[in-house]
Structure 1
Amino acid sequence: MFTILDMAQPDRLEEAYEILLKRRNNTILGGCAFLKMSKKQIRTGIDLSKLKLDYIREDNGFVAIGAMTTLRELETNPLLRESFNSILSQAVSNIIGVQFRNGVTIGASVYSRYGFSDLLTALLVLDTEVELYHQGRMPLGEFLKRPCQKDILVQLRIKKSQRIAAFISFRKSASDFAVLNVAVSKLDDQWTIAVGARPGRAMIAERASRTLNKENLRAQDIEEAANIAADELSFGTNARGTADYRKALCRVLVKRGIREVILCKSN
């Protein structure tokens, strides 16, 4: 169980950032769902609930999602259910349970870069940007590659487009973390494939995605892309599955994801 020695509820982002930097073990608090499983000692816990960062709205061609928005709000929001084939709603709908999703925030989920995250995999195949208080705005993929440093994730921004997307995950039980998850999207003739819970952090299968960038895909093209994705990404072993099992599962889920996107387009 973690301990907090002091609490702060700043009224401004500037104040929150100043408190965060004052001591090494000062920490931004989200839903604290996974923090509860740690033994971390926090000098000052910083609660962002006064900063009005719980929103999902359209903003100049983007869908803006505030950092304090919960997974449950992401799941049920009408705007997101009507966008990108409802991929974000699908991606979070099987995470633990409704009570859990009512507490976990988007900011904490993305900023922590969890390897088991279903949400990161889905976000990677959309045109997603993260907006940080200090470092500013950048593509999600760039953020995930950067070394961790203290900052505050303010919001996500997803470019609105006609992108078609699909999310698939494989779980041993409905409430368990995924053994592997896959997201696939297509905009015009450009495809993107992302694989997460490897059990490492979600990554885009760059070579596999480029293989699909053509018109009139054939069955062998889909098969080739699935094989390339399984070969170019690395997989590990944990209690949920071996590396070899995940690699074989990757081929199956990537093919299903591609076919689902094709089917969506034909409809």
Structure 2
Amino acid sequence: MFTLLNVAQPDTLQEAYKILTAKRSNTILGGSSYLRMGSQSIHTGVDLSKLGLQYIQETESFIEIGAMATLRNVEKHPALAKYFNGILPQAVSNIIGVQFRNVATVGASVFSRYGFSDLITALLVLDTEVELFHGGRMSLADFLDTPRTKDILTKVIIPVTGRQAAYYTLRNSASDYPLLAVAVSCYDNQWQIAVGARPTRAKLAVHAAGLLTAAAVAPEDIEQAAQQAAEELPFGDNMRASAEYRRAMCRVLVKRAVTEVAVCK
């Protein structure tokens, strides 16, 4: 359990950022779901609930998800169920439990870059961008590779396209953290493959995706891409699975996901 000395509820993002950066131990509270699992002393917790960031908006070109939208909002929103074969509601639907998903926020889940994040894995294959108050707008893939800094993630932006997608995950039990997560998508014959919970954070398997041809996806192409994904990404051991098991299951899940998307195409 964390120790919280002060709480601030700023009225603007500028004020929130000023408070956040005033002290090293100041932090954004979000839903505080994962903060409760740690042990740290926070001088000032910055509550963003007055900034109007709990929203999911659909336009002709983009779906924007505010930082304070919860995982449950993602799971139940009709626009997210309509696009990309419902990959985002599917990805978050097994995270711990409904009570947890009612408070865990999208902003905290993405900004914290958790290795076990189902949401990040799914977002990576949708050409997702993030918007930071100080750092500006960038692709999610670039954000995950940037050094950690004090900033506020304000929203997630997903292009509305005819992208087809599939999501697969392995868990030791239904509500446990994933021991491996795989997302695959295709749009305009351009494929993307992401593997998460390796157990480090999700990453695109760029070379594996490049093996899938624009004209057609033959069974041997799928097999080769699945093998390449398992070879180009590093895997590690933890209490849920070994690196060897994760690598073997990566081949299986990538093959299944690519096959599913190919049928959708």
What TM bracket, shorter-length normalisation? over 0.9
Indicate the residue corresponding to 1:170 in structure 2: 170
Match of 1:137 in 2: 137
For 2:109, the equivalent position in structure 1 comes to 109
1:18 deviation in Å? 0.3
CA distance in 2, matches of 1:60, 1:8: 36
- 1:257 aligns with 257
Q: Which residue number in structure 1 is paired with residue 213 of structure 2? A: 213
Task: Indicate if the aligned counterparts of 2:64 and 2:156 stay in contact, CA closer than 8 A.
Answer: yes
Paired residue for 1:39? 39
> Which residue does the alignment assign to 1:151?
151
Q: What corresponds to 1:73 in structure 2?
A: 73
Report the Cα distance in structure 2 between the residues aligned to 1:202 and 1:189, rounded to whole angstroms: 22
Q: 1:16-38: per-residue Cα shift (whole Å, max 9, x none)?
A: 00000100000001111111011
Distance 1:65 1:213 in 2: 32
Residue 33 of structure 2 aligns with an amino acid whose one-letter code is A
Q: Residues 105-156 of structure 1, C-alpha deviation per residue, up to 9 Å, x if partnerless?
A: 0000000000000000000000100000001100000000000000000000
Question: What is the CA-CA distance between 1:44 and the residue it aligns to?
Answer: 0.2
How do residues 111-130 of structure 1 correspond to structure 2 at under 5 angstroms? 111-130=111-130
Paired position in structure 2 for 1:238: 238
> Which residue identity is paired with 1:137?
R
Shift of 1:60: 5.4
SS class of match (1:184): strand
Which runs of no fewer than 5 residues in structure 2 stay unpaired? Answer: none
Aligned to 1:49, the other structure's residue is in SS state: coil
Secondary structure class of the residue paired with 2:50: helix
When normalised by structure 1's length, the TM-score is 0.98
Flag structure 1 segments of 5+ consecutive residues without an equivalent.
none
Q: Matched residues in 2 for 1:119 and 1:260: separation?
A: 19
Question: Partner residue of 1:49?
Answer: 49
Identity value in percent: 59
In structure 2, what residue type is equivalent to 1:125? V
Partner SS, residue 137 of structure 1: strand
C-alpha separation in 2, matches of 1:40 and 1:112: 15
> Which amino acid is 1:9 matched to?
Q
- CA-based RMSD: 0.7
Counterpart-to-counterpart distance in 2, 1:127 and 1:68:
21
Normalised by the size of structure 2, how large is the TM-score?
A: 0.99
SS of 1:22's equivalent in the other structure is coil
CA distance in 2 between partners of 1:42 and 1:122 (Å):
31
CA shift digits 1:151-203 (9 cap, x unpaired)? 00000000110000010001111010111000000001100000000001100
How many residues of Structure 1 are paired with residues of Structure 2 in the alignment? Answer: 265
Query: What's the offset of the Cα at 1:216?
Result: 1.6
Return the alpha-carbon distance in structure 2 between the equivalents of residues 263 and 89 of structure 1: 20
Deviation at 1:214, TM superposition (A): 2.5
1:23 aligns with 2:26: no
For residue 217 of structure 1, what is the amino acid of its counterpart?
V
Counterpart of 2:160 in structure 1 is 160
Contact 2:60 2:160 in 1 (8 A): no
Match of 1:90 in 2: 90
CA drift at 1:264: 1.7
Question: Which SS does the other structure have where 2:185 is aligned?
Answer: strand
| CA distance, structure 1, for counterparts of residue 47 and residue 130 of structure 2 | 20
- For residues 149 and 59 of structure 1, the distance between their equivalents in structure 2, rounded to whole angstroms, comes to 31
Distance in 2, matches of 1:215 and 1:249, equals 27
State the distance in 1 between where 2:162 and 2:149 align: 34
Runs of 4+ in 1 over 2 A off after TM superposition: none
1:213 shift after superposition? 3.1
Q: CA deviation at 1:218?
A: 1.0
Q: Secondary structure at the match of 1:50?
A: coil
Partner of 2:181: 181
